[in-house]
Amino acid sequence: METAPKPGKDVPPKKDKLQTKRKKPRRYWEEETVPTTAGASPGPPRNKKNRELRPQRPKNAYILKKSRISKKPQVPKKPREWKNPESQRGLSGAQDPFPGPAPVPVEVVQKFCRIDKSRKLPHSKAKTRSRLEVAEAEEEETSIKAARSELLLAEEPGFLEGEDGEDTAKICQADIVEAVDIASAAKHFDLNLRQFGPYRLNYSRTGRHLAFGGRRGHVAALDWVTKKLMCEINVMEAVRDIRFLHSEALLAVAQNRWLHIYDNQGIELHCIRRCDRVTRLEFLPFHFLLATASETGFLTYLDVSVGKIVAALNARAGRLDVMSQNPYNAVIHLGHSNGTASLWSPAMKEPLAKILCHRGGVRAVAVDSTGTYMATSGLDHQLKIFDLRGTYQPLSTRTLPHGAGHLAFSQRGLLVAGMGDVVNIWAGQGKASPPSLEQPYLTHRLSGPVHGLQFCPFEDVLGVGHTGGITSMLVPGAGEPNFDGLESNPYRSRKQRQEWEVKALLEKVPAELICLDPRALAEVDVISLEQGKKEQIERLGYDPQAKAPFQPKPKQKGRSSTASLVKRKRKVMDEEHRVNEHWHGPGLPQAAPSCLCLCPCQPATSHSVPVSSPSPVPRTRSGRAFSSSIIRRRRPSPRGPGHLPWTDLCAEPDSRVAWEQSLPKITCREMSVPWNKEVGAVWPLPQLGVDSCLLGWVGIKEESDFLDNVSGSSCGPVPLPLAKHEAILGSEGSVSCLYPHPIPCGCCGLSFAF
């Protein structure tokens, strides 16, 4: 370790002399070559990991700080500079062997970083720009501080490893129970409840309480850690689903007819008749919304803090019995019998997005806690994992022998699927990676078919409800080891719970803020900003921010000829032009072929959005901290009612119409492709050669059909008569390009070759 970090670039020669003169006794923690520095390489001499960024690299840090765009996340924190090497000695004369602040791993810093450093700062006035830069520097500083606090975390996640090539899937629960400590072993238990049929279950948000309801009316809630029963009743009616509300004191039960709410004594508090024939329940804890999916096809949002129905949305897809929530953005995912999954927000009557997932009905949907991956399983026995970060493409697919009826993600990204009476768990490499579907991590066979699954939060436990009762399985590595005491604390006292409840109610997020990107609220509303500017110009009669055209100053005698004036003017104009090019980009090529919506930049609209729409993607939507000059206004949006005014997710309707008209007509085998239909996916056809591709879309009338029409495009030299099945069989991996050639997508730059 360096003993004395240098403030400047060069080592002061005086110090070198000092150290050669008087040799210090070597300490056990020092390297053999103590005579520090030798000037040239100030890097850390024996870093065990290269990833660790030592902050005391003044030269390097300086460069990093200067460059605005850098691939690597950086730690710009300046080292503590010791002007006088003697000053760091304590009273005993010993030197600090680890001077300066502790190193912070880069990945950890990246986890806490909220700004995207790869995007440039918008071109703005010097004052605004400097303010933005200060805000960015502050943000970095905070992320480093937060990363440093990781050291204080007390618990390590669990794991399960087989000895040299042993398959962990072969390890059965009895082995795990035998190997672990008593407290953990006690978490594995079976409740033998054969009498009241298949069970649904739900853990409370803290993971401390468990509620379950059997098909034949048995409802119970207990503190499952201490096994203390809170209540046990029979509602004398079929129980479809059960869910804790914001705390363990309230319980929503979807019964055969209506939705009922009980407290933890089993006393019925409410019977909500506006939610009838509910099949599935989801509770959005930060919005205090209870989402119910019913047999009648309605998705209803009930605000449990005031008892009002916020929205009742008709999904127009028949009976709804597959539902899950995206914990990242509180969007509800519904699975339909036509193979699509639709994404819903209470603010919109239409789905935010529809994803064509399966060639049969969707049986189960689950979204992981970071909102990145969605797992679906369908009647076609396939289990797919989709990327929700804008592409909506399947990342991995696996055909299961029976098909999964129930899916769930754990906090650390483990995926569980219940197939008949077997439960399979898949794990990924790290916390942020999707589960790899090749090899299950664990399997378990139950005494009856699975009816409900959930990982217990903050515990390595999976709860399974089945016909034989409830099983609590041990799954090492499932739960988040370190909880946040102010967010959900399994050990909280009554007072703490009451305080938390008040605070949570105070910061209840309104339902209309639910949209695909929860950070969209922090972005600049460019549309209304520009509209406001336009109005201001109209009102004032001139543009107050307009720059006066450049007028060259008259120069000395003989230098102000007309030609030289024109020359100087031209020079300035060119310069301005260059700057504009640099900041705003050259604009999209007008004749660029359009490609369809499944590209990353235009995610999740209910329409397929043209990429080369008249307005290019605004660069100012940086998602950065606010500059005060940027004003956001919420006013009636020009995009019609129902849209969130501040989300810029959908293109404007008129631009869409223009885009539709500008499209080339594609004649198909049977009919021309109705462009107003929602495009689900596009498949390439290897049989047709490079020049053709297929287009599948979901019609609005015949929802039950998987694909209404499959047709070859006119580009192909030989439009073959194709059977539906051929097209489907040839579909491996979807491609979002209509044109036969690999075309770079206008907004994301990806090219889809096939």
Using CB under 8 A as the binding rule, the residues of this chain from 160 to 219 that contact other proteins are 160-163, 166, 168, 171, 175-176, 179-181, 183-184, 187
Q: Determine which residue in the list 192, 433, 496, 536 makes contact with other proteins, applying CB under 8 A.
A: 496
Cβ neighbours of residue 747 closer than 8 Å, sequence gap 6 or more: 588, 599, 601, 602, 611, 617
Q: Determine which residue in the list 40, 154, 546, 671 makes contact with other proteins, applying CB under 8 A.
A: 154
Segment near other proteins (CB under 8 A); pick from 68-76, 111-119, 126-134, 252-260: 111-119
Q: Is 85 helix (H, G, I), strand (E, B) or coil?
A: helix
Q: Which of 746, 373, 376, 703 is nearest to 591 (CA)?
A: 746
Segment near other proteins (CB under 8 A); pick from 154-162, 344-352, 384-392, 688-696: 154-162
Binding mask 437-476 toward other proteins (x if CB under 8 A, else -) reads ---------------------xxx-------------x-x
Q: Is 677 exposed, middle or buried (0-12, 13-18, 19+ CB in 10 A)?
A: middle
Q: Which single residue is written with the structure tokens 């072969």?
A: 170
Q: Smallest distance from the beta carbon of 345 to other proteins, in angstroms?
A: 13
Query: Could you say whether residue 588 binds other proteins (CB under 8 A)?
Result: no
Residue 293 or 330: the one with the smaller Cβ distance to other proteins is: 330
φ/ψ of 540, rounded to 5, equals -80, -25
Cβ neighbours of residue 515 closer than 8 Å, sequence gap 6 or more: 329, 331, 345, 347, 352, 644, 647, 649
By CB under 8 A, what part of segment 497-516 binds other proteins? 506-510, 513
By CB under 8 A, what part of segment 542-571 binds other proteins? 542
By CB under 8 A, what part of segment 61-80 binds other proteins? none
Q: Smallest distance from the beta carbon of 487 to other proteins, in angstroms?
A: 6
Q: Smallest distance from the beta carbon of 486 to other proteins, in angstroms?
A: 6
Q: Which of 343, 342, 335, 387 is nearest to 361 (CA)?
A: 335
Q: Which single residue is written with the structure tokens 């399979």?
A: 424
Q: Smallest distance from the beta carbon of 537 to other proteins, in angstroms?
A: 11
Can you read off the two tokens belonging to residue 128?
Answer: 């605004």
Can you read off the two tokens belonging to residue 149?
Answer: 């606090």
Q: Smallest distance from the beta carbon of 307 to other proteins, in angstroms?
A: 20
Q: Smallest distance from the beta carbon of 521 to other proteins, in angstroms?
A: 5
Q: Which single residue is written with the structure tokens 């238990």?
A: 189
Q: Which single residue is written with the structure tokens 């664990």?
A: 442
Q: Smallest distance from the beta carbon of 707 to other proteins, in angstroms?
A: 36
Return d(Cα 183, Cα 215) in angstroms, integer. Answer: 32
Q: Determine which residue in the list 47, 305, 482, 704 makes contact with other proteins, applying CB under 8 A.
A: 482
Q: Is the dihedral of CA 621, 626, 627, 628 positive or negative?
A: positive
DSSP 606: S
Beta pairing partners, 260:
253, 271
Segment near other proteins (CB under 8 A); pick from 60-68, 159-167, 420-428, 649-657: 159-167
What DSSP string runs through 188-237?
-EEEE--TT-SEEEEE-TTS-EEEEEETTSEEEEEETTTTEEEEEEE-SS
By CB under 8 A, what part of segment 372-411 binds other proteins? none
Return d(Cα 201, Cα 53) in angstroms, integer. Answer: 46
For residue 198, the number of C-alpha atoms closer than 13 Å in the C-beta half-sphere is 13
Binding mask 327-356 toward other proteins (x if CB under 8 A, else -) reads xxxx--------------------------
Residue 345 or 731: the one with the smaller Cβ distance to other proteins is: 345
Residue 262 or 500: the one with the smaller Cβ distance to other proteins is: 500
Q: Smallest distance from the beta carbon of 439 to other proteins, in angstroms?
A: 16
Q: Determine which residue in the list 70, 130, 149, 751 makes contact with other proteins, applying CB under 8 A.
A: 149
Q: Which of 28, 25, 54 is nearest to 41 (CA)?
A: 54
Segment near other proteins (CB under 8 A); pick from 538-546, 569-577, 600-608, 694-702: 538-546
**CB count in 10 Å sphere of residue 119:** 14
Residue 341 or 461: the one with the smaller Cβ distance to other proteins is: 461
Residue 317 or 649: the one with the smaller Cβ distance to other proteins is: 649
φ/ψ of 667, rounded to 5, equals -90, 135
Q: Smallest distance from the beta carbon of 508 to other proteins, in angstroms?
A: 7
Residue 149 or 580: the one with the smaller Cβ distance to other proteins is: 149
By CB under 8 A, what part of segment 599-658 binds other proteins? 625-626, 628, 630-635
Q: Determine which residue in the list 378, 440, 465, 479 makes contact with other proteins, applying CB under 8 A.
A: 479
Number of residues that bind other proteins (CB under 8 A): 78
Residue 9 or 170: the one with the smaller Cβ distance to other proteins is: 170
Q: Determine which residue in the list 63, 486, 579, 753 makes contact with other proteins, applying CB under 8 A.
A: 486
Return d(Cα 157, Cα 458) in angstroms, integer. Answer: 10
Can you read off the two tokens belonging to residue 667?
Answer: 């004649």
Q: Smallest distance from the beta carbon of 567 to other proteins, in angstroms?
A: 24
By CB under 8 A, what part of segment 671-710 binds other proteins? none
What per-residue string of b and e applies to 594-617 under the rule 16 or more CB within 10 Å gives b?
bbbbbbbbbbbbbebbbbbbeeee
- Whether 341 contacts 330, CB under 8 Å: no
Q: Smallest distance from the beta carbon of 479 to other proteins, in angstroms?
A: 5
By CB under 8 A, what part of segment 269-288 binds other proteins? 286
Q: Smallest distance from the beta carbon of 576 to other proteins, in angstroms?
A: 22
Alpha helices (H) along 558-674 = 562-584, 653-662
Residue 145 or 402: the one with the smaller Cβ distance to other proteins is: 145
- Whether 190 contacts 469, CB under 8 Å: yes
By CB under 8 A, what part of segment 517-536 binds other proteins? 518-519, 521-522
Q: Determine which residue in the list 73, 112, 200, 738 makes contact with other proteins, applying CB under 8 A.
A: 112
Can you read off the two tokens belonging to residue 492?
Answer: 């909280």
Residue 44 or 490: the one with the smaller Cβ distance to other proteins is: 490
Task: Please report the beta strands in 640-692, taking only residues with DSSP state E, as ranges in sequence order.
Answer: 678-684
Return d(Cα 634, Cα 606) in angstroms, integer. Answer: 22
Residue 498 or 676: the one with the smaller Cβ distance to other proteins is: 498
Q: Determine which residue in the list 39, 43, 97, 485 makes contact with other proteins, applying CB under 8 A.
A: 485
Q: Which of 100, 102, 96 is nearest to 148 (CA)?
A: 102
Q: Determine which residue in the list 62, 159, 550, 583 makes contact with other proteins, applying CB under 8 A.
A: 159
For residue 646, the number of C-alpha atoms closer than 13 Å in the C-beta half-sphere is 20
Q: Smallest distance from the beta carbon of 388 to other proteins, in angstroms?
A: 14
Q: Determine which residue in the list 56, 206, 294, 369 makes contact with other proteins, applying CB under 8 A.
A: 369
H or E stretch at 147? helix 126-148
Residue 69 or 153: the one with the smaller Cβ distance to other proteins is: 153
Beta pairing partners, 211:
202, 221
- For residue 136, CA distances in Å to 113, 142, 271, 358 come to 10, 10, 51, 43
By CB under 8 A, what part of segment 285-304 binds other proteins? 286
Going across the sheet that includes 710-712, the strands are: 678-684, 693-698, 710-712
Q: Smallest distance from the beta carbon of 212 to other proteins, in angstroms?
A: 22
Segment near other proteins (CB under 8 A); pick from 78-86, 98-106, 233-241, 479-487: 479-487
